[in-house]
Structure 1
């Protein structure tokens, strides 16, 4: 989580100079090279055939939508607010489990989800006017949905597929998607300082992605997910230090509700 919020902060610093496609492509290139080096050092590149399964491809596609919506959100909305909305992802996982019949629809599962969505409404404040709506918050909500789907799919990938190969194919997919999206943009020179920031962001994103994949495999998500909420504290701190961002009273209440709903859901499930 620390690596992810550092990645988001570094990406946000580049959004004024680089377009979304260039950000995804440049960061994705650095991340792919680094993960490929790790995979080569571990002797796993020769096992690339293990990736020929639908769930590995599905995860790569969800990684692309997660990265793209995240960059768009960070360009248009405050760091802490975007981060808080993304933390709805664990509640979406719970809701998905109920809707797909994996879990029974009981009060201790449904109530936190409803409370979390109340928090989201307080943060995004939907209006009837498209001109007044902050589309960065909509992208953040889309990112949360993509994150939830990505974590669910990750657990469905065969345990025989090495984590580093999953990380490699997903970072490569983001890079390719960035090149495709960037073909319609006017690219800025790569000798800018922002390129160095994206290289650092790539290190954070790749290592964070590797750590999350490793954490989600072979354990219940309820064990891993509570640690996600530490990212909100780091985002609040970095958002204030970097951009002077501070949520207003209503957004603060919404952030607290989202965090409380997620933690309550997890703690209740752990006790049971």
Structure 2
């Protein structure tokens, strides 16, 4: 077991990581109001590529090993995750999108048990059922004219893509360094954005939009680093449930910037999803 000090450090870093991820979503949402999705992916991807190349510059061997089918599949899932998240953020409130995306751990648990990668557990099944009931509560009050159904659908597709990406990541051999995978997926998203530009109408970037996308890439990079450090040398059953602080950050920033306030039914759904997800993560991490 880790020390109490190590766990407190891990919890603090996990809170910082989730705040950074929500910061990424905020900056993407601000930029996506005036830019098409492909341009957002391409420009943010360009900044993110600079960051990850700086991290991976010391590693020179093993790039050929990274060019495996599973890594290619993960790149494809990273593209669908990024694209659906940008579309969802441009159409739906931040807190709604963040909450629906946090159903990914529930999807992972249900899929892992269905594929017999993990044993069937009654508690986790009940948690998944409660979480998906929460999804219905979140979607129902948000289904109003100013929130297109496409935005909600994209948020759920993003969660499914996140779950599939993480399941594929588990199957990638540990001999392939994480830095190579990060570079490959970041370049793939940037390239996908450039290809989307062939069918989109791109507009000249203002300094405001350029700053938003650079800040989004910086937040994502910092969040990834904080998340990695947060999970090392700690009790994961203690630290990992704090991933759901992302929903709290999204609620706070969504209200502060756009004045978004969930209705009572949606608030109950948020609590169900957070409780179910935290329970699922906790039971998966217990010895």
Match of residue 47 from structure 1:
62
Residue deviations 1:226-269, cap 9 Å, x none? 23201011111111111111111111111011011112223344
Instruction: Note if contact 1:167-1:210 (Cα within 8 Å) is conserved in structure 2.
Output: no
After superposition, what is the alpha-carbon deviation per residue over 1:145-171, rounded to whole angstroms, capped at 9, x for unaligned? 111111122222222222221111111
Decide whether the 8 Å contact of 2:143 with 2:149 is kept in 1.
Answer: no
> Which residue of the partner structure matches residue 12 of structure 1?
29
Pairwise CA distance, 1:134: 2.2
1:38 matches 2:45: no
Contact 1:163 1:214 in 2 (8 A): no
Q: Which residue number corresponds to residue 133 of structure 2? A: 118
Q: 1:104 to 1:38 in 2, by over 3 A?
A: closer
1:179 partnered with 2:206 = no
Cα pair 1:122 1:251 within 8 Å, conserved: yes
- How large is the RMSD of aligned CA atoms in angstroms? 2.8
- The 3 A distance-change label for structure 1 pair 160 and 257 is same
Separation in 2 of the partners of 1:268 and 1:120?
Answer: 21
Q: Equivalent residue for 2:115?
A: 100
* Contact map agreement 2:75 2:184 (CA 8 A) in 1: yes
Q: Could you tell me the TM-score, scaled by structure 1's length?
A: 0.89
TM-score by length of 2: 0.85
Unaligned runs of 5+ in 1: none
CA apart distance, 1:2:
2.2
Whole-angstrom CA distance in 2 between matches of 1:126 and 1:118: 13
Q: How many residues align?
A: 270
2:229 aligned with 1:242, yes or no?
no
Hey, what's the Cα distance between the residues in 2 that align with 1:188 and 1:211?
A: 34
Q: Spell out, residue by residue over 1:111-147, the C-alpha distance to the aligned partner (whole angstroms, 9 max, x if none).
A: 0000000000111129999998522111000011111
Separation (CA, whole Å) in 2 of partners of 1:215 and 1:227: 10
Is the contact made by 1:7 and 1:201 (CA closer than 8 Å) also made in structure 2? yes
Q: How does 1:1-272 map to 2 (within 5 A)?
A: 1-40=18-57, 43-125=58-140, 134-209=149-224, 225-271=240-286
Q: Distance in 2 between matches of 1:148 and 1:132?
A: 24
Distance 1:57 1:132, change over 3 A: closer
Task: Tell me whether 7-16 or 190-199 shows the greater mean CA deviation.
Answer: 190-199
SS of the equivalent of 2:62 reads: helix
Q: Deviation of residue 182 (structure 1)?
A: 1.9
The structural deviation recorded for 1:215 is 7.3
Cα deviations by residue, 1:193-230 (Å, 9 ceiling, x for unpaired): 1111101111122343455578789x998677423201
